[in-house]
Amino acid sequence: MKPIDFYSYQCGVIDCFNEMIRAGLKKVAFSHPTSSMEERDALLPFSREICRQYGTCFCPIDDPLLTDLFPVSMNKGTYHIIYWKKEEDWREYCRIKSDKEQLIRQNAYTGEARTEIAYRLARLLSYPEDGIAQLIQANQELE
């Protein structure tokens, strides 16, 4: 098999996710994490063009929303780009992030509240309910 460089792979993922968002299959998607801001920023011109083609939006993320949906090492200290079409979906992402921060400040980011944050993010990513439960249950690496 011919090797694929990281940049080209990322561009393929970004194109696919934006096509899914345009088609209504996903509300929101993230680029795969990058280990540096420079790697992520190299994808911004491509993101701008793809979003123009698909009628979607994007925003670079320097502090990803960590939840029990994915292993913490997958996203902590990484950089992403978030994609969406409807402003209400962007606002919901911001609300989820804000709600988590508020729960942490109140020492209430535990139990059901913590699980609900993960479910809200997963629903925004358009994951099916049974898939959400499986991902959370399988995650042995919490923040």
| Model confidence pLDDT, tens digit, residues 94-124 | 999 999 999 999 999 999 999 999 999 999 9
In a domain, 41, yes or no: yes
What range does the domain containing 90 cover? Answer: 6-138
In a domain, 89, yes or no: yes
Burial track 94-124 (b if 16+ CB lie within 10 A, e otherwise) = eebbeebeebeeeeebeeeebbebbbbbbbb
| Model confidence pLDDT, tens digit, residues 42-83 | 999 999 999 999 999 999 999 999 999 999 999 999 999 999
Strand partners, 100: none
Structural domain count, the chain: 1
pLDDT confidence of residue 143? 85
pLDDT confidence of residue 7? 95
Distance, in Å, from the CA atom of 105 to the CA atom of 14, rounded to the nearest integer, reads 34
In a domain, 1, yes or no: no
Tell me the pTM.
0.94
In a domain, 46, yes or no: yes
In a domain, 122, yes or no: yes
In a domain, 143, yes or no: no
C-alpha closest to that of 51 among 17, 79, 26, 87: 17
In a domain, 33, yes or no: yes
In a domain, 90, yes or no: yes
